[in-house]
């Protein structure tokens, strides 16, 4: 038997069953079975006493005693059940069978010493055990270890592939562990992280001697998963850094200096300076930069982006900046043109709605090198858009762009451009460590000085008048207000109607004020006009759907009222809230909800009112939605760890990442003898899946 042996050759399986198991569970080899981990374990090492049962006892337990008083009770089909008393010398409880066949009644051996095993039910302080397992043989009943319970189904059980089957098959396999399994972690790591050996881990994950042994096995297997995953990324990064060329930008030149000294309207925050330095260091090297810039909404990522693009320009290269929506691209374009107003730097905007004539100019100027900065949407990716020498590509709100799109940017220059991806949706630490490990990460963890934290409140329909009056007062003080309505995805018409109705109410209540509307049905030019109207201060109130979610910047807007807030996800609420609090005034976010809230909605609303910290919010979001949803469909398949949990194993992931980084630094090509086992395992495991892992 080896790990690759097909399961059909295992005693008790055979070709037919092997086929069946493969089709239902996808298990094909001994290795597959070995990592078919138990769901939980039952403890048959102890015998409990009925007199000592408590309501807190929720696990399955074993009792020793005698069956008496067997009877059928209830009437009619579906109502009948079989009941019996079970006594030991401390008390009695009821055994019940809701499904049973007639002969069972005769087969239950009364007044005979028996072992029963099952889960205890408590109802009104009375204990019962439904569908107990019954065993007369003490040797079979009592087991020295915890017994594994494997995932199963009725379909499987019908063909004899039940828990007993897996116990017996795995029992055979674990006997062979010493020949099947090689250690794949170097002794130094095993010692450092106090891990148990691989052989022991597999043994005790299936047949743990006790809980303690199970814990150790579990830890070891989790660490291993995390470690090799991180090692893969570490290789990728190492490979990238040693082979993907980039254009070095050694100079700080006229454009950058001029802007920094003459134009920059404020002092950069320390966090912005730190991040800029990290980017500068990357750009100096003849290696492509791949950096993720995380910074909460309003932390000033755009300025960092602009300064980086000026560095590219001073070194003779063009830049492009992509945003996920037209409005955002337009906004970036507006603020960049404004900031670069006094300079000779040429900036243009390319989106889906750019007119043909303008496009032609853009194409020409890009090729001639006359155009230094191109701002745009996905339109920038089209093949027809060619640069003279694209040196830096900036992607804003990166979670909306896929890996494939990033790759298309790469192809825009012979030597690929440096890449800076910016996101305002903080990624939970475990995810960032796991899935963006190939990117270097910079974090702006500080808001510009003088920003007051946004005050967030939860209000209900009965408070509407107060909320409206409050909004009116703020407008009187010179502020601007957002009302945001959720998209009703099932019905765009309903959604639109809803928005119109509310729009009318608002116009009526805020008589004399200018109210702007923005929604997804409007043409890009209309949207833009509406946005400009509001941004210019001509309109006091913006009534919108979530179109305004990302990036929109109107510093004088200080109140965000989110209607039906329970219908929004956490990261969306956080993004929306980030539209206010951008100026020096105290800002407010009011979450309007109906009276009845689900538990999850309550958690979301509570989180929002309790914290402004995007990282904390992202953690809660991950707990609620799971890592797969947060990463988006593109990567959710990757979250397929067998043991490791991205929700709860942050510590292990971090330790594994550190361990992988250190190991690779010390032995970049895994040539040291103490790493031979690790190398073997890695090569086998990732063979063909991992083109970047270059081990000589
Ligand atoms: P985000 O990180 O959300 O993209 P922006 O770059 O849009 O944030 O910046 C938000 C606002 O803060 C903008 O109005 C910008 O001009 C301003 N800002 C950026 N950096 C600073 C700073 N260091 N001091 C003061 N204001 C700043
Ligand atoms: Mg932004």
Task: Choose the residue to mutate in 448, 451, 578, 585 for probing ligand 1, maximizing ligand atoms within 8 Å of C-beta.
Answer: 448
Could you list the mean pLDDT of each consecutive 10-residue stretch along the chain, which spans 696 residues?
Answer: 91 92 94 93 86 80 90 76 91 88 77 88 86 84 82 87 92 94 94 96 94 94 94 84 87 95 93 97 93 87 96 97 86 92 95 94 96 95 94 82 74 91 80 74 86 93 95 96 79 69 91 91 83 91 79 85 92 89 90 93 96 89 79 54 86 93 92 92 69 38
Same domain, 272 and 169: no
Whether 470 and 509 map to the same domain: the answer is yes
In a 13 Å sphere around the CA of 300, the CA atoms on its Cβ side amount to 24
Inter-CA distances, 618 with 190, 368, 428, 650, Å: 33, 44, 6, 14
- In the three-class reduction of DSSP (H, G, I as helix; E, B as strand; rest coil), residue 376 is classed as strand
* Nearest ligand to residue 553 Cα: 1
Domain containing residue 387: CATH number: 3.40.50.300
How many Å lie between the centroid of ligand 1 and the Cα of residue 515?
26
Q: Which of 568, 586, 611 is the last residue of a domain?
A: 611
DSSP 113: -
Counting ligand 1 atoms within 8 A of each CB, the residue from 265, 269, 298 with the most, and so the one to mutate, is 298
In three-state form (DSSP H/G/I as H, E/B as E, the rest C), the secondary structure along 232-265 is HHHHHHHHHHHHCECCCCCCCCHHHHHHHHHHCC
Same domain as 69, residue 200: no
pLDDT of amino acid 550: 57
Q: Verify that 399 and 358 share a domain, yes or no.
A: yes
Same domain, 367 and 305: yes
What pLDDT is recorded for position 625?
Answer: 83
Question: Ligand 1 center to residue 581 CA distance, Å?
Answer: 11
d(CA 494, CA 153): 43
Please state, in angstroms and rounded to a whole number, the distance separating the CA atoms of residues 101 and 80: 11
Please write the tens of the pLDDT for every residue from 565-602.
998 989 889 989 988 988 888 999 999 999 999 999 99
Give the ligand whose atoms come closest to the C-alpha of residue 304.
1
Residue 268 shares a structural domain with residue 406: yes
CA 370 / ligand 2 centre spacing (Å)? 26
Q: Does one domain contain both 487 and 573?
A: yes
Is residue 449 a part of any domain in this protein? no
Alpha carbon of 582 to ligand 1 centroid (Å) = 7
Q: How far apart are CA 612 and CA 426, in angstroms?
A: 12
Burial class (CB within 10 angstroms; exposed 0-12, middle 13-18, buried 19+) of 589: buried
Residue 573 lies in a domain: yes
* Burial annotation 481-493 (CB, 10 A radius, 16+ → b, else e): bbbbbbbbeeeee
Which two structure tokens, joined as six digits, stand for 590? Answer: 């009011």
Contact (CB, 8 A) for 84 and 108: yes
Question: Does residue 294 form part of some domain?
Answer: no
Structure tokens at 122: 């408590």
For ligand 2, the distance from its centroid to the CA atom of residue 354, given in whole angstroms, is 22
**Structural domain contains residue 468:** yes
pLDDT tens-digit series, residues 190-225: 999 999 999 999 999 999 988 899 999 999 999 999
Rounded Cα distance between 31 and 114, Å, is 38
Sheet holding 455-460, edge to edge: 455-460, 588-593, 557-562, 480-484, 541-544, 515-518
Same domain, 478 and 589: yes
Number of domains comprising the chain: 4
Measured from the Cα of 304, ligand 1's closest atom is 6
Contact 346, 373 (CB under 8 A): yes
- On whether residue 1 sits in a domain, the answer given is no
Interatomic CA distance for residues 200 and 181, integer angstroms = 10
Identify whether 121 is part of a domain.
yes
Pocket test for ligand 1, best of 271, 303, 338 (most atoms within 8 A of CB): 303
Helix (H) or strand (E) holding 126: strand 126-130
Tell me the residue range of the domain where 201 lies. Answer: 7-40+153-210
Residue ID of nearest Cα to ligand 1 atom 20 = 300
Q: Which of 277, 335, 265 is nearest to 553 (CA)?
A: 335
- What pairs with residue 88 in β-bridges? 91
CA of 42 to the centre of ligand 1 (A): 57
Residue 112's pLDDT is 87
* Beta-strand pair 126-130/121-123: antiparallel
pLDDT tens figures, 296-339: 877 899 999 999 999 999 999 999 999 988 878 988 999 899 99
Residue of 263, 267, 300 to test ligand 1 pocket, by largest number of atoms within 8 Å of CB: 300
Q: Looking at ligand 1, which residue's alpha carbon is closest to its atom 19? A: 300
- Please name the helix (run of DSSP H) or strand (run of DSSP E) that holds residue 41, with its range, or none: strand 40-43
On whether residue 640 sits in a domain, the answer given is no
Task: To the nearest 10°, report the CA torsion of 504, 508, 512, 515.
Answer: -20
In a shared domain, residues 334 and 465: no
pLDDT for 251 equals: 92
Q: Is residue 71 part of a domain?
A: yes
Indicate which atom in ligand 1 lies nearest the CA of residue 553.
7
Show the ligand 1 pocket: residues with CB < 6 angstroms. Answer: 266, 268-269, 272, 295, 297-303, 424, 448, 553, 555, 582
Residue ID of nearest Cα to ligand 1 atom 15? 300
Taking residue 678's Cβ as centre, other Cβ atoms within 10 Å add up to: 21
Phi–psi pair at 534, nearest 5 degrees:
-70, -45
Query: For residues 435, 653, 622 and 492, what is the CA-based torsion angle, rounded to 10 degrees?
Result: 10
For residue 301, the CA-to-ligand 2 centroid distance in Å is: 6
Residue 315 Cα, ligand 2 centroid: separation in angstroms? Answer: 25
Ligand nearest to the CA of 334: 1
Q: How do 347-350 and 318-322 pair as beta strands?
A: unpaired
Same domain, 268 and 395: yes
Q: Are residues 110 and 187 in the same domain?
A: no
- The helix or strand, by DSSP H or E, that contains position 608, with its residue range, turns out to be helix 599-610
Which of 264, 302, 375, when mutated, tests ligand 1's pocket best, judged by the most ligand atoms within 8 Å of its CB? Answer: 302
**Which ligand has an atom closest to residue 325 CA?**
2
What span, in angstroms and rounded, lies between the C-alpha atoms of 254 and 310? Answer: 9
Q: Which atom of ligand 1 is nearest to the CA of 305?
A: 6
Helix axes 599-610, 614-625, angle to 10 degrees: 170
Contacts of 303 (CB under 8 A, 6+ apart): 264, 268, 272
Say whether both 31 and 165 belong to one domain: yes
The bound ligand whose nearest atom lies closest to the alpha carbon of 324 is 2
Tell me the ligand closest to 329's alpha carbon. 2
């Amino acid at each position: 038997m080896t790990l690759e042996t097909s399961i059909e050759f295992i005693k008790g399986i055979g070709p037919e069953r092997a086929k069946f198991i493969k089709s239902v569970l996808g298990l094909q080899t001994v290795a597959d079975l070995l990592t078919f981990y138990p769901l939980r374990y039952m403890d048959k090492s102890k015998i409990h006493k009925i007199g000592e049962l408590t309501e807190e006892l929720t696990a399955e337990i074993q009792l020793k005693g005698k069956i008496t008083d067997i009877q059928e009770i209830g009437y009619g089909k579906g109502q009948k059940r079989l009941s019996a008393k079970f006594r030991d010398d401390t008390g009695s409880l009821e055994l019940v069978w809701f499904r049973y066949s007639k002969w069972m009644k005769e087969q239950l051996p009364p007044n005979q010493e028996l072992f029963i095993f099952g889960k205890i039910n408590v109802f009104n302080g009375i204990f019962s055990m439904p569908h107990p397992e019954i065993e007369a043989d003490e040797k079979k009943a009592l087991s020295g270890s915890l017994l594994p319970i494997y995932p199963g189904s009725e379909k499987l059980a019908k063909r004899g592939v039940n828990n007993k089957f897996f116990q017996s098959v795995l029992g055979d396999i674990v006997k062979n562990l010493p020949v099947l399994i090689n250690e794949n972690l170097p002794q130094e790591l095993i010692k450092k992280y106090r891990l148990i050996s691989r052989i022991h881990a597999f043994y005790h994950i299936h047949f743990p001697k006790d809980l303690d042994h199970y814990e150790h096995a579990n830890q070891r297997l989790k660490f291993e998963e995390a470690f090799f995953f991180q090692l893969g990324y570490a290789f990728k990064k190492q490979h990238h850094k040693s082979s993907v060329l980039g254009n070095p930008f050694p100079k700080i030149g006229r454009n950058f200096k001029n802007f920094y000294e003459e134009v920059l309207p404020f002092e950069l925050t320390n966090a912005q300076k730190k991040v800029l330095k990290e980017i500068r260091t990357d750009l100096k090297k003849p290696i492509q930069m791949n950096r993720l810039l995380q910074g909460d909404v309003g932390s000033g990522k755009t300025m960092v982006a602009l300064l980086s693009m000026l560095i590219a320009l001073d070194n003779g290269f063009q830049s492009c900046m992509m945003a996920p929506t037209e409005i955002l691209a337009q906004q970036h374009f507006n603020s960049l043109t404004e900031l670069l107003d006094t300079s000779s730097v040429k900036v243009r905007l390319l989106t889906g709605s750019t007119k043909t004539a303008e496009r032609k100019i853009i194409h020409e100027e890009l090729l001639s090198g006359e155009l230094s900065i191109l701002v745009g949407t996905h339109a920038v990716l089209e093949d027809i858009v060619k640069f003279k020498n694209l040196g830096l590509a900036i992607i804003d709100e990166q979670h909306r762009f896929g890996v494939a799109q990033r790759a298309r940017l790469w192809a825009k220059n012979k030597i690929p451009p440096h890449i800076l991806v910016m996101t305002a949706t903080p990624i939970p630490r475990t995810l960032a460590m796991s899935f963006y490990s190939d990117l270097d990460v910079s974090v702006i963890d500080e808001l510009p000085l003088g920003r007051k934290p946004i005050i967030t409140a939860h209000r209900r329909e009965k408070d509407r008048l107060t909320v409206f009056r409050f909004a009116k007062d703020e407008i009187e003080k010179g502020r601007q207000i957002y009302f945001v309505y959720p998209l009703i995805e099932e019905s765009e018409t309903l959604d639109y109607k809803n928005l119109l109705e509310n729009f009318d109410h608002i116009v009526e209540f805020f008589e004399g004020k200018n109210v702007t509307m923005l929604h997804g049905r409007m043409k890009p030019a209309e949207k833009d006009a509406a946005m400009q109207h509001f941004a210019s201060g001509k309109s006091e109130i913006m009534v919108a759907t979530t179109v305004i979610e990302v990036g929109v910047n109107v510093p004088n807007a200080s109140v965000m009222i989110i209607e039906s807030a329970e219908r929004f996800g956490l990261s969306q609420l956080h993004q929306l809230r980030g539209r206010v609090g951008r100026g020096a005034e105290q800002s407010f976010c009011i979450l309007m909800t109906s009276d009845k809230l689900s538990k999850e909605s309550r958690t979301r609303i509570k989180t929002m009112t309790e914290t402004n910290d995007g990282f904390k919010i992202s953690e809660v979001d991950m707990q609620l939605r799971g890592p797969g949803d947060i990463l988006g469909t593109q990567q959710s398949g990757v979250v397929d760890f067998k043991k490791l949990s991205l929700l709860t194993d942050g510590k292990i992931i971090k330790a594994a990442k550190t361990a992988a980084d250190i190991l690779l630094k010390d032995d970049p090509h895994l040539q040291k003898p103490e790493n031979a086992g690790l190398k073997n395992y890695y090569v086998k495991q990732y063979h063909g899946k991992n083109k970047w892992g270059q081990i000589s």
